[in-house]
Structure 1
């Protein structure tokens, strides 16, 4: 009975080992290793932190200065707080204390923003008085002098600065506890290429308002029914007329605004310099 049980157990052990022997025996005969388990999951490799990655560093070239021509068609427009401080009374126009007095301030702020500034050396309203020309002929009076200057030199921007007649409530704003003079930009539409002037005026208005919200009152398009209608802007596609503040703005407000305008001009005209 015992021998019978041993035979039965041996038979069952043989049946258990038979599948393993069938796999192993051919490999042992030919010296082949058993197959290794294949990794089926993706492998994440750590970055080689010792490898230096070199990048080409672009050479930054110094940009050429922006060439700006500054003029004052209505050269005797005055700011009440400034003129009163000099002559003791308020007046809208004065031959000695007027908008041309800020030419040094304008030049200073533009130069701080990489601009070369020429001021048209012409007191237009003084010459108009000498030749007995009426006020409405101001743009016609200055035109030959302006055209001569533009023909002699290429400018990236021709900037005609005026003083608006609106009151302080319209032409001022407060930002960060500082008071500023607001501006308006005028575009004459009575010439074929006014769209170019309008595009630059709009871009400048947007940039000024980005720097100080609501500083610019926007771009005013004018025909001959609204005023001159051309403003000598047909002489340059980059001609801008700025109404800088109004009759009641102070020198401090004007100075702060000029700093913003100069910065905005440098941004808008940076890639649009004359060739």
Structure 2
């Protein structure tokens, strides 16, 4: 009797509700993962006035950051010492020394600084083409008290002045620059979701590097330094550890740091490897940089990001002797197409799933 009722329901177009929910749930989960949504919840900044302090086994301060720190996060210090967070006590992160990080050796006397990612070598240059660097800001409100009058400015904060300074200097050095000034406020956990659309749109132009420009929220001493006789702020690199490009992002960060250490000793504030993806799953050459803190002079941050720009031509295979007139070129774009590939996969999966759902309904309603 029950079998006859079920057969009649199918012929009448009544599909078991559970079957539909399982199908749609699987589709939603797959799309969520492919779009990088699974890691967005990790992008927390500390409340205003609070920050994390990282301590080594001897209670020495090795780093401070306004980003929420989790057990398992890592930090490669300016001297290339690597630490891992093993315990959290309030806003104190206790770390264990992991050894000296092996940094890549870069030869700035030639144009052979090929990048090695995942075992595949990318040629550093193509004749008569300039490298392209894309810039944007996830946290559009970030500002500098000494220069902007506040640490946060609703609308477009002082961080845009840092972005413009970087853009101007990169262009002077011979780069093509794509600078997107989209406003992604408010400064909340969903900011990276909003800026993801901006990053994806920038990556359609296949830039060689894409930088998300920030400033930190810690005491000024954490970033204040002097490079070549100038007062500047240090620059920190941030790598998300929850994305499939993590290893290549970290390799890229290490190469940037090696270039900074070679061309501007003292400029680097290390590499923080923290929970999250920071939209770096879109490209192996996506990087988040922190240019000083809100407590530093904005003028010093401008100087710092200018010096940072000066370290990039050699890394990109450009002629560092005469960067303004060199026939700069871009690396091969094979691995820069990660965003396009991800979007294509999403569209194919959604289309296939939609088609399957249609056929499932159509089949159930046929007589």
How far did 1:63 drift?
Answer: 4.4
Q: Cα 1:220–1:97, aligned 2, differ >3 Å: closer, same or farther?
A: closer
Pair 1:106 & 2:166 matched: yes
Residue in 1 aligned with 2:313?
266
Provide the rounded CA distance (Å) in 2 between the counterparts of 1:120 and 1:195: 27
Q: Cα 1:144–1:91, aligned 2, differ >3 Å: closer, same or farther?
A: closer
Q: Cα 1:135–1:213, aligned 2, differ >3 Å: closer, same or farther?
A: same
Residue in 1 aligned with 2:301?
254
How many matched pairs?
197
Counterpart secondary structure, 1:163: strand
Q: 1:91 aligns with which of 142, 148, 151?
A: 151
Counterpart secondary structure, 1:241: strand
Provide the rounded CA distance (Å) in 2 between the counterparts of 1:137 and 1:117: 26
How far did 1:96 drift?
Answer: 4.1
Q: Cα 1:148–1:259, aligned 2, differ >3 Å: closer, same or farther?
A: closer
Provide the rounded CA distance (Å) in 2 between the counterparts of 1:211 and 1:145: 31
Q: 2:213–2:288: 8 Å Cα contact kept in structure 1?
A: yes
Pair 1:140 & 2:200 matched: no
Q: CA RMSD in A?
A: 2.0
How far did 1:74 drift?
Answer: 0.3
Residue in 1 aligned with 2:180?
120
Q: 1:155–1:274: 8 Å Cα contact kept in structure 2?
A: no
Residue in 2 aligned with 1:175?
227
Provide the rounded CA distance (Å) in 1 between the counterparts of 2:228 and 2:205: 40
Pair 1:230 & 2:288 matched: no
Provide the rounded CA distance (Å) in 1 between the counterparts of 2:229 and 2:270: 23
Q: Cα 1:96–1:70, aligned 2, differ >3 Å: closer, same or farther?
A: closer
Residue in 2 aligned with 1:196?
248
Q: 2:246–2:281: 8 Å Cα contact kept in structure 1?
A: yes
Q: 2:160–2:181: 8 Å Cα contact kept in structure 1?
A: no
Q: Cα 1:63–1:181, aligned 2, differ >3 Å: closer, same or farther?
A: farther
Residue in 1 aligned with 2:324?
none
- Specify every segment of 5 or more residues in structure 2 that has no aligned partner in the other structure, as ranges: 1-125, 319-329, 334-367
Pair 1:67 & 2:139 matched: no
Q: 1:68–1:118: 8 Å Cα contact kept in structure 2?
A: yes
How big is each residue's C-alpha offset from its partner over 1:112-159, in whole Å with a ceiling of 9 and x where there is no partner? 22111111241111xx4xxxxx70111112212321331x31110001
The structure in which a higher percent of residues are strand is: 2
Q: TM-score, normalised by structure 1?
A: 0.66
How far did 1:109 drift?
Answer: 0.7
Residue in 1 aligned with 2:259?
207
Provide the rounded CA distance (Å) in 2 between the counterparts of 1:106 and 1:176: 18
Q: TM-score, normalised by structure 2?
A: 0.50
